[in-house]
Structure 1
């Protein structure tokens, strides 16, 4: 059979979005040992399985489950609009990037990490999230491949704080979760660049090097004065999975703390929506659908539901195509339904050209600023557009 897709996050197995024809029992064992429970096969390029469920049926079933699970949207209290917060959020994001780059550079040089550098970043991100989480969440999708590791840490910190707040966490609990998100990948600075950024399939030996980064980061933080238990736990265990297939300690079930379960969801979500040297990031809506497919074995499903409510099925900054043929960028979630966000349309796929930007609230009826519906999440490169340009356009 020809494996088209492995149903599991790419950081927990050595294949990393490889497509290949199975050629031996050893390859089958390698897939099973990595915790993969399902795969998609391409029947035009290999043998079929007459008992397998068709991909379209799986997709439709997953989407029905998600809609049913998220029937009660998250109730956010926003202090300011996305537009009001965006300029401050950009400054927070840029400063956080600089601080993380500096801290990780210190780790690469064998120097100690100081919480005095991390804490102001977490405080600034928390302040922005509390004012309006949509602004910073709309920025985390902007990543340069060369700076991925640094920007990923900023994104995980932001998502952990937004996620924690949506679950009712506050004060020191929220702060510690943010610190854990910011520092969780310090150990990657101990991985050789040629392995960390390898564009192709990893060898078993190379994947073993990758799997050392949670333990290496944990060791770095143990030498950090004032570090608390939660950041240590997140750093060491964010690649653990509920079925025990994760690493480095193969923890399972209740042995994985709630904060680590949150970090595992956040870490994977941000990783699979970003462009990397070895894979193209997928739209956020598609990423959430994929994660739901894997959730029964890998993630805490109730927490994944809560995370989806937090970021929205179509997160701020997402590019979507409407039934009318227009493209729009999501500007805000709609409290009435996660399937009908507010957005700004700016491009026609029918004429393949830009149109006058227009605000649209999909929760409203035709003639009242609505009257359209989302048919798909889109990749900006497909249409040659930059949704961020229109996120705050007049």
Structure 2
């Protein structure tokens, strides 16, 4: 084979940066290009996951033979521009992600209001929304992670439902599930808390600890969800499993049906993990947001009796120790947003720094690549711990 330096028509890309539509020509190993028998376009996230699980860190991509929407279409004689384009696309993708999140919250608000009035849930609008979310995840999951990190206390129910849908799609993609299954996961995520529309909002938004009686009222949202889902037309069993099982526990102490063990299918188990994680990392009127690292510890503390231990570890690997969009403090006191991360090096992501906790002031906005720096992450932090608003820096 020719040396890497002579492979000008091809672009070397880390496996975690692969996108659907890119044409994988060969693998990279020991400074040599290694031919592969199944060269071709990436058609789904499962193919990328298979490469990653095989221990392959980089591949060589044929830009010319990649699809037009792969993000690589430009002269192959200048691969540096292609890499810069991937970075520039992040800004565009974040704008698209914000628009998608706004659309999702608008649809959920409409459906919740109609459900409160006794109207039947129609699944078709959610199918279109799910397809848009899947495309966005395949295009740039990190853009959606950044947008989902922007939370407001007064829109929890809507944002939580959208984030659960996004996390389920991301988790399902990591597990190599088929696209049609991802669509059903998203719909289940959007609708998983639909029963709460019938719970007294004063109880849902109570700033103090709930009484036993009030907690029983909140738990009734699952009984309401059963009624709503029974009337809904065209909702798949997978979507129903997510909606009706995200409070079940493996030891049978959950609700509404007290299912246990194998009676809780994969998608129900996934929804339990995702629902808890997003709830823990969200700020509410009665609590501050928990850092992802602390939330992971909480999830692990609930295994194996409440949550599926193997799935929890898969979820942690999927999201990452320091998820894109989360806030961290570096060893020099600077605070920043995890901007880019790779599964092969989760402890050394790229961080967009904008504030100093030591100096208590804004700093120059820079992207710090911890893989190329002497600095390191001191700890993950929650937005509420900052005296400034990090939202503008997303």
TM-score category of the 2 structures, normalised to the smaller one = 0.7 to 0.9
- Cα 1:205–1:380 change in 2 (3 A) is closer
Contact 2:348 2:376 in 1 (8 A): yes
- Cα 1:72–1:286 change in 2 (3 A) is farther
Contact 1:73 1:338 in 2 (8 A): no
Larger radius of gyration: 2
Counterpart selection for 2:173 from 149, 165, 173: 165
Contact 2:245 2:268 in 1 (8 A): yes
Corresponding position: 1:387 with 2:353: no
Structure 1 segments unaligned to the other structure (5+ residues): 1-70, 365-369
CA distance in 2, matches of 1:375, 1:149: 32
Deviations 1:57-115 (A, max 9, x none): xxxxxxxxxxxxxx999989996553341111111011001001111111111111111
Structure 2 segments unaligned to the other structure (5+ residues): 1-52, 60-69, 72-85
Question: Normalised by the size of structure 1, how large is the TM-score?
Answer: 0.76
- Cα 1:257–1:74 change in 2 (3 A) is farther
Corresponding position: 1:178 with 2:186: yes
Counterpart selection for 2:154 from 124, 146, 156: 146
Corresponding position: 1:327 with 2:335: yes
Report how far residue 381 of structure 1 moved: 3.1
Q: Equivalent residue for 2:364?
A: 356
Equivalent position SS for 1:363: helix
Corresponding position: 1:98 with 2:101: no
- Cα 1:101–1:215 change in 2 (3 A) is same
Contact 1:186 1:217 in 2 (8 A): yes
- Cα 1:147–1:349 change in 2 (3 A) is closer
Contact 1:320 1:376 in 2 (8 A): yes
Contact 1:153 1:184 in 2 (8 A): yes
Q: Equivalent residue for 1:273?
A: 281
Counterpart selection for 1:244 from 252, 266, 284: 252
Corresponding position: 1:287 with 2:290: no
Contact 2:289 2:384 in 1 (8 A): no
- Cα 1:293–1:162 change in 2 (3 A) is same
Query: What are the residue-to-residue correspondences of 1:31-50 with 2, within 5 Å?
Result: none
Contact 1:329 1:343 in 2 (8 A): yes
Q: Equivalent residue for 2:23?
A: none
Structure with the larger RCO, 1 or 2 (CA within 8 Å, 6+ apart)? 1
Q: Equivalent residue for 1:190?
A: 198
Report how far residue 125 of structure 1 moved: 1.0
CA RMSD of aligned residues (A): 2.2
Contact 2:196 2:218 in 1 (8 A): yes
Deviations 1:235-259 (A, max 9, x none): 1111011122211111111111110
CA distance in 2, matches of 1:199, 1:266: 23
CA distance in 2, matches of 1:162, 1:295: 22
More deviation, 115-124/95-104? 115-124
More deviation, 185-194/210-219? 210-219
Counterpart selection for 1:127 from 126, 130, 135: 135
